[in-house]
Structures are given as C-alpha cells and as structure tokens.
Amino acid sequence: DGNGEIDFEELCYLEIVMSGARPQAHLIDYKTFLPEKTTKQLEEWFSLNDMDDSGAISIDDALKIAEQQDVKVSMDDVTALLSEVKSAADGWLNLPSFCALWTCMTNAQKIINYREYLEAEEVAAYRAMFQEACEGGKEELNRKQVSDVLRNTGLVRVRRHLTRIWEEMAIDKKTMLDFAQFCVVIVRLMKRRKYREVNPQTCTCARLYEEGFTVKELLMSGFKLKDFEAIRIPARKLYQDGGFSALELRRVGYTATDLRRAGLGIVELRSSGFSLSELRTAGFSAAGLAEANRSMHGCFSMGDFTLLPQIGLKTSNISAAKLTWGGVFSNKDPKTFQRVTMTPLIREHTDGRHTLGLSLVTLALGISRE
C-alpha cells in the first residue's frame, strides 16, 4: 500500500501471484466470483439435468454442460478440480459444488465492485466517456474500442499493461464489454485500492440511490428487489435497467397501475398473475382485457404455456422446446426435462404453488375460465 512494509495479507497475495496458484473449488464462495445472472443460468442447467429432484447431477452431466457451452479445460485440470470436491467422490455434484466447479473451470475472476474503488465523480466521467464511444445505441464496446478509449484519455501508455489485463480477465477480440467491465478494466489498470465497503451492512439502499447508484450498481452491491420497493424506485427503472420481470415486481408489491405506468402491456401483466379487477382499476379497457383473456386461454387450450413467466425459457439458451402437461422437453436432448407447475389458476401458474396433482391439473385446465 506504499508504506514500505509488507503485511501478512500482502505477503500471501504476493505468494499467490508468484506461484500462479488458482482458486480451489472446495475453498471458494462461488457467489463472489459469478454474477447473479450466471448463477441463475447454472441453476437452470442444473435443474434440467436433475431429473428426479434429488438435488444432485452426475459428473458426466456437468461435463456435458461445460462441453455444450464451449468451456476450454483439459481433462487433467478437470480431474484435479474434481479431486477437490467431496461429493464428486460418489460421482455426483450438488448445486454449490457444480457452481464452484464451474467457477474454476471457466477461470472466473473475483467480482470487483468498482464503486468501492472509484469516486462518484470518476464514475460519472467514465460513464460519459463510455457512452460517447458506444455506437448505434449499443451499451457495450469491443476490446479494440476499449483500448482506443483508454489510449486517447492517457490511461494506457504501455501496451503490455493492457494485454496483461485482457489475459487476466479472459477477454478476447470477440468479447463485448459493458460499462461495469469497462470500469473494472480501469480499476485493474490503475491498480486502485478499495477505499470503502459498499454492501447492505455498511450502507443503506436509499443513501446509495441518492448518491447516484444505478439499479445495476445497487444489485452488484448486494441489495435486492425488496430493498428497491421499500424506497419506491420507479418500476420502469427496475424493469428496464434491472431486468426484473412483471411477475417479480408484482410479488414485492408493485401494483398493476405502477407497472402500466412503466410501459408494460396488458398480456404480460395478466399472465403475471394480476386479476381482471386489478387490471381494470389500473385503467385497461374492458375490451382489451377480454382480448388478453381470450388470447391467453387460447394458448393454454393448445398446450402452449410460453406466456407464463415462470417457465422462463428466455434465459435458458434452449433454441427450441416442446411443452407438455408436466414440463418442458428440449428438442436438442429429449432426455432433458424441466418441470413446471400446471395449475388451473393464473396465480398458481406464476407463483409455482404445487397444490394439485397432475391428473387434477389436466382436468382443471379444461374447465377453468378465470
């Protein structure tokens, strides 16, 4: 830290760097390495392969997922990683072990909250710099564009410094960087030290929001949707910037009126569990509600449940799927089955309440007209 002395923590860090040591699967907390979006994706893949709901998948299934996602790792490395996972001795992996294994196989870097390293004024300046470099309304830059921006601003004087960061962060020529990754590159390049802790234990959501934190930055700092609802962050921001669905927003207390003002459509709100009376109170017309209901019941009668946000095929990277009464089969792999709740009431569809058996569900879907 510039004081001319090395403390124990700095000595350990120096030893790790000099020896090239890697994180060990049984010692790490994968949540500090993997973004929430990646964790949710891994949970979906895990669920698709956990056919009997045992809470475990085979090692072969885990390696098959890695192969499908084009993860570059040698069998020697895989063998070494599996030897660190206790449950792997029996040939099975639970979800935490699978996520930890994935972290090590993909050489994921520990998540850096750039808001703990950069002052608010610096973040604002870098945001303006980033947005100016973006083309065509996109909010991401490729590696060359980032290099050009950093050179033009004088942040990079020696090319090898930036090359080292590309290698550390596993960023190739095809990788697109968003603003958060752009800031992390700057933090690493400038070798900035953390000047504060930003988390729910040290700061309040309201204070950080007033400071100018975006929804994504609040999420990165450990705050949840319920925290955003408590300080009444507009639903539009949460929907557009945070990527929350109408279903998630309804569950924490946002009303149909809030979501209509946020620009959400009648079909999305109806399929997310809002009743006809709630939607009518929000200002939707009777004719619009009738058409939305007709469209939804028409899909259900054909066995098409893709309107239900609970199924969530948008983020599962399944190119095509066949829906059945009990769940979803992937056309790529007929053995892969994702269970979903099929109940007669829309709220039970979206909230995932297992209240009816499959035989009753089939009967109820034929007669229910909520």
Residues 6+ apart with CB under 8 A from 166: 143, 172
- Per-residue tokens: 144: 């060359």
What three-state secondary structure class fits 176?
strand
For the chain, helix, strand, coil in percent to 5 are 55, 5, 40
Q: In the prediction, which pLDDT does 216 show?
A: 93
Q: In the prediction, which pLDDT does 311 show?
A: 59
> Which residue's entry shows tokens 């083309």?
135
- Per-residue tokens: 101: 């294994």
Q: In the prediction, which pLDDT does 319 show?
A: 31
- Per-residue tokens: 7: 């403390």
Burial class of residue 292, CB neighbours in 10 A (0-12, 13-18, 19+): buried
Q: What one-character-per-residue DSSP string does 268-330 give?
A: HHHHTT--HHHHHHTT--HHHHHHHHHHHHHHHHTT--TT-TTT-GGGTT-S-EEE-SSEEEE
Query: What sign for the dihedral angle of Cα 45, 49, 53, 59?
Result: negative
Quick count: other Cβ atoms within 10 Å of Cβ 118? 19
Q: Which CATH class is domain 8-105?
A: mainly alpha
Say if CB 182 and CB 146 are below 8 A apart. Answer: yes
Quick count: other Cβ atoms within 10 Å of Cβ 170? 12
Say if CB 300 and CB 367 are below 8 A apart. Answer: no
Architecture of domain 114-190: Orthogonal Bundle (1.10)
> Which residue's entry shows tokens 């829309």?
346
Domain boundaries, the chain: 8-105, 114-190, 295-367
Q: Which residue positions in the chain have pLDDT lower than 70?
A: 1-3, 87, 89, 157, 310-370
Q: In the prediction, which pLDDT does 3 show?
A: 64
Quick count: other Cβ atoms within 10 Å of Cβ 151? 13
Per-residue pLDDT tens over the stretch 242-253: 889 999 999 999
Closest CA to 316 of 97, 59, 53, 65: 65
Q: Do domains 8-105 and 114-190 have the same CATH topology?
A: yes
Question: Which residue type occupies 303?
Answer: G
